[in-house]
């Protein structure tokens, strides 16, 4: 079967050819601003005007909510910038886990390009262009209906081209816009990110609903073996077994694998973390447990229930699933370290939500068990296509909402910040100075992030 990547790359080539043809055919109607091309039309103006005219009460009610949400998102974004800088300054080892630079465009295939496939699902060009279209239309349409609400002339709508990357815009009469009340300007500026936030929530609900309707629990994912603290003073001998290192202690036998062996040379404490002797450790069991004897293992609870009905010494055939296929392990169950009457396999699941990315992803995915392996109930490839597409539309809407409220001049958050300070201080001079200071401070943070990232990968 041909990989979807082949179809996706073919679509990227065809789409790029189409964009090139469109730009050549409509070159008389294009304007160039730097490295981008803008195609101005009146598409969507009637729809914008209709919504702005028919839902005035609702839009006026939303005005102050939009401003409050904008301020909240701006605060969150500034906090995240500070947290990210702190992480790269004081934890340079982060570059061993996240190889992507901290300031990088969201481009197709980036999880594969930067070795971040354990953090993110595949990001095909198809996902990118569909998500981008939804995000841009929602964002700009929302700007437009509030322009109509406050009687700001809309000069044009249109498309923005940066290579095969498309965007949308609604062009207002700038002089009319700047004459409006500060709250009205802030509502127009914040409307786009507010709409993106709402659509992020909508697609999150669709994402969760699709998951529960299309996936079923099918196994227990273990990413670790059972561990215990071993006092260094109790170690009486060490033996290299190839893939494992055996520790002889006064309290029993323990093992270290490649991921734990560094403790023997780099540990300055009084104890190390090691695996107690267990069947899974000795067999170097890998993968997701999907079956034990003739019992289907659906999740961690299923494995625990199976082991509760077994005794130490019982022979069990386990089947695990890996990317390469299925593996069989015929093992004799051991004795539980804390209760020798109970059967023991010696597998576990370790969680780590340290870092902003992992913490956010953990919140998003909290509706399902991390240690449970899920499989589609129907056509696997199509299920995953829809599932990941919904995920990316949700995430990109959220990222655009956050990024756009950063107080930089080229973004909605730039003038939004300036108007906020102006409203509080009533001083245009102070507001301009504050905006200039924050802009340079953010640019300095960007430079520092790239500097610490570069030093980390050297």
Paired sense of beta strands 215-221 and 36-41, if any = unpaired
Taking the C-alpha atoms of residue 90 and residue 81, their distance in angstroms, rounded to an integer, is 14
Strand blocks (E) in 277-419: 288-292, 295-296, 315-322, 325-332, 334-336, 339-344, 347-348, 372-376
One domain for residues 261 and 407: no
Q: Which of 141, 146, 138, 137 is nearest to 66 (CA)?
A: 146
Note the pLDDT tens digit of each residue in 368-380: 888 899 999 987 7
Exposure b/e, 72-94, CB count within 10 A at least 16 = b: ebbeebbeebeebbebbeeeeeb
One domain for residues 187 and 328: no
Domain annotation covers residue 363: no
Domain annotation covers residue 24: no
Note the pLDDT tens digit of each residue in 252-282: 888 888 778 788 777 667 888 888 888 998 8
Domain annotation covers residue 108: yes
One domain for residues 91 and 196: yes
Domain annotation covers residue 145: yes
- Say yes or no to pLDDT of 348 above 80: yes
User: Confidence band (pLDDT; 50, 70, 90) for 104?
Assistant: confident
One domain for residues 303 and 394: no
CA dihedral sign, ordered 101, 102, 108, 109: positive
**Average pLDDT over the chain, rounded to an integer:** 87
Query: Domain boundary residue among 294, 328, 348?
Result: 348
Domain around 234: 224-348
Domain annotation covers residue 357: no
Count of CB atoms situated within 10 Å of the CB of 181: 11
Share of the chain above pLDDT 70, in %: 95
One domain for residues 49 and 181: yes
pLDDT at residue 164, as a whole number? 64
One domain for residues 112 and 61: yes
Q: Which of 156, 228, 225, 140 is nearest to 188 (CA)?
A: 140
- What is the mean pLDDT of the segment spanning 330-355? 81
Per the structure, how many domains does the chain have?
A: 2
One domain for residues 98 and 243: no
One domain for residues 147 and 212: yes
Domain annotation covers residue 397: yes
Domain annotation covers residue 13: no
pLDDT at residue 1, as a whole number? 44
One domain for residues 86 and 49: yes
Domain annotation covers residue 23: no
What's this model's pTM, rounded to 2 decimal places? Answer: 0.83
- What is the mean pLDDT of the segment spanning 46-63? 92
One domain for residues 87 and 200: yes
CATH number of the CATH domain containing 342: 2.30.42
CA dihedral sign, ordered 205, 206, 207, 210: positive
- Given the structure tokens 């930089």, which residue do they identify? 408
One domain for residues 308 and 448: no
Q: Which of 391, 446, 361 is nearest to 122 (CA)?
A: 391
Instruction: Answer with the residue of higher pLDDT: 276 or 363.
Output: 276
Query: Domain boundary residue among 331, 348, 365?
Result: 348
One domain for residues 245 and 126: no
Taking the C-alpha atoms of residue 364 and residue 204, their distance in angstroms, rounded to an integer, is 8
């Amino acid at each position: 079967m041909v990989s979807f990547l082949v179809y996706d790359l073919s679509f990227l080539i065809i789409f790029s050819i189409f964009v090139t043809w469109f730009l050549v055919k409509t070159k008389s109607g294009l304007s160039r601003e730097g490295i981008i091309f803008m195609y101005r039309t009146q598409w969507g103006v009637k729809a914008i005007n209709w919504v702005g005219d028919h839902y005035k009460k609702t839009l006026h009610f939303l005005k102050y909510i939009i401003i409050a949400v904008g301020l909240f998102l701006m605060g969150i974004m500034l906090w995240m910038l500070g947290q990210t800088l702190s992480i790269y300054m004081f934890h340079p080892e982060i570059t061993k886990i996240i190889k992507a630079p901290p300031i990088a465009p969201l481009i197709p295939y980036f999880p594969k390009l930067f070795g971040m496939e354990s953090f993110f699902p595949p990001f095909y060009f198809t996902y990118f262009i569909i998500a981008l279209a939804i995000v841009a239309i929602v964002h700009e349409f929302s700007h437009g209906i509030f322009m109509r609400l406050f009687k700001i002339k809309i000069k044009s709508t249109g498309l923005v081209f940066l290579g095969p990357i498309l965007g949308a815009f609604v062009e207002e009469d700038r002089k009319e816009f700047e004459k409006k009340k500060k709250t009205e300007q802030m509502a127009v500026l914040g409307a786009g990110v507010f709409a993106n936030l709402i659509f992020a929530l909508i697609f999150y609900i669709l994402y969760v609903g699709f998951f529960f309707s299309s996936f079923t629990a099918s196994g227990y994912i273990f990413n670790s073996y059972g561990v215990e603290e071993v006092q260094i003073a109790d170690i009486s001998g060490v033996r290299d077994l190839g893939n494992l290192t055996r520790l002889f202690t006064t309290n029993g036998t323990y093992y270290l694998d490649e991921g734990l062996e560094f403790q023997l040379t780099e540990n300055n404490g009084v104890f190390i973390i090691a695996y107690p002797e267990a069947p899974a450790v000795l067999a170097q069991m890998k993968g997701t447990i999907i079956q034990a004897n003739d019992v289907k293992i659906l999740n961690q609870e299923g494995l625990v229930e199976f082991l509760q009905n077994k005794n130490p010494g019982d022979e069990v055939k386990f089947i695990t699933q890996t990317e390469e296929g299925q593996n069989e392990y015929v093992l004799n169950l051991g004795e539980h370290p804390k209760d020798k009457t109970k059967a023991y396999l010696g597998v576990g699941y370790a969680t780590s939500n340290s870092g902003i990315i992992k913490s956010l992803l953990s919140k998003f995915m909290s509706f399902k068990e991390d240690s449970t392996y899920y499989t589609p109930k129907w056509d696997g490839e199509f299920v995953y296509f829809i599932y990941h597409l919904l995920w990316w539309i949700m995430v990109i809407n959220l990222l655009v909402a956050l990024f756009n409220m950063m107080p930089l001049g080229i973004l909605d958050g730039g003038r939004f910040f300036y108007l906020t300070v102006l409203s509080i201080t009533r001083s245009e001079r102070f507001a301009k100075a504050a905006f200039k200071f924050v802009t340079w401070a953010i640019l300095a943070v960007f430079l520092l992030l790239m500097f610490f990232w570069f030093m980390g990968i050297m």
